[in-house]
Amino acid sequence: MRLGQTTTSSEGEDVMRISLMVEGQNGLTWERWSHILALAERLGMSGVYRSDHYFIGQQQDSLEAYLSFVMAASETSTIRFGALVSPVTFRRPVDVGRMVAQLDALSDGRFICGFGAGWNEPEHVAYGIDFPSTKERFDRMDDAIRLMKALWSGGPVSYDGEFYSLKDADCLPRPPSGRPYFLIGGSGEKRTLRSVAEFADEWNFTPLPFDEIPHKIDVLAKHCETFDRDPASIRRSQMTFGLIGPDDLLQPTVRALKAARGAAEMSDADFLQASRDRGSIVGGTDEVVDQIGRLAELGVEEMMFQHFLFDDDSVPEYLATEIAPQVADL
């Protein structure tokens, strides 16, 4: 078994998966992206995911997400990959739907269609992209997902939504039934979790104080009742800011994350405690394994650890050799 790989036993039990998440707007280049993809496969990780932004804060090298996914499909053969997550505001849903269908075919079903409502207004302003109200963004997200699912269902197909439409569109090549795999990220109780219940194969959430997670799961279950859906049919994953490992491994990551958050004047101890309080995975091997175990008890099946230092393989290697073997059977 590859470290971190999804494996199903004869009893139907899945193992915990360990993956990487890359902020594609933080100085990612084609050379670095290619290296990270090859690294993840060499280490036997389950997946490599990336953000879909033009920039957050400082403008740096930033690869177009869907072009980078073509590289991932072409240069890898085992890992899952996709966006955490693509905002509905950036592209017409018919274009996303066509690209996703073709990425599904190119990768033999390894592409994950991560989708969201969008939140970062400055990048929209800078690039002249409309940034509607929160309500309209969520309404557009739901409408876009319905259109894409219609587009993938067979054709020619017509769709008349509130914002988007199709008329006798035949999306070829057409993905197999049940694909592409759909992920929705976020933990907002009124809209996001309702959309997860209606549309998603997987719910992904960012760090939350541990005591808040059972409540979010209960909210999702109540939304599932609205759509007569079994909550167990929705996989759970978490994207986390991992401040992990021995001091020589931890310190460069702490410095990078403090700089990114404008917290350079904060002591390392206070920063690590604040990260713990927010629900990030923090500590040495035993503490990390314990925290992942607690999440596994709540049904979380995959951990996507942010990979901050693109030119340093130490954290991914630590995850693969020290963490993945210990959490595989949780």
Token output for 328: 């595989």
| Lowest mean pLDDT segment, chosen from 2-6, 68-72, 170-174 | 2-6
C-beta separation of 177 from 127 below 8 A: no
Residue 279 pLDDT exceeds 70: yes
Q: What are phi and psi of 111, to 5 degrees?
A: -80, 135
Q: Give pLDDT, residue 2.
A: 34
Q: What element of type H or E holds 242?
A: none
Quickly tell me which residue has 């240069």 as its tokens.
Answer: 75
3-state SS of 228-239? CCCHHHCEEEEE
C-beta separation of 27 from 310 below 8 A: yes
3-state SS of 62-125? CCCHHHHHHHHHHHCCCCEEEECCEECCCCCHHHHHHHHHHHHHHCCCCEEEEEECCCCHHHHH
CATH class of 17-327: alpha beta
Q: Where are the domains of the chain?
A: 17-327
Token output for 50: 């990336």
Q: What are phi and psi of 292, to 5 degrees?
A: -65, -40
Q: What is the pLDDT of residues 47-82, one digit of tens each?
A: 999 999 999 988 999 999 999 999 999 999 999 999
Q: Give pLDDT, residue 163.
A: 98
Helix/strand/coil for 308 = coil
Distance, CA of 53 to chain centre: 13
* Residues comprising the chain, all counted: 330
Instruction: Calculate the alpha carbon distances from 289 to 212, 242, 245, 280, 328 in Å.
Output: 20, 12, 11, 13, 10
Q: What is the pLDDT of residues 99-136, one digit of tens each?
A: 999 999 999 999 999 999 999 999 999 999 999 999 99
- Label residue 86 exposed, middle or buried (CB < 10 Å: 0-12, 13-18, 19+): buried
Residue 92 pLDDT exceeds 60: yes
Q: Give pLDDT, residue 256.
A: 86
Q: Give pLDDT, residue 14.
A: 64
Q: What is the pLDDT of residues 256-266, one digit of tens each?
A: 888 888 898 89
Greatest Cα-to-Cα distance within the chain, rounded to the nearest angstrom: 60
In the chain, the percentage of residues whose pLDDT exceeds 70 is 96
Average pLDDT, the chain: 93
C-beta separation of 303 from 292 below 8 A: yes
Q: Give pLDDT, residue 119.
A: 96
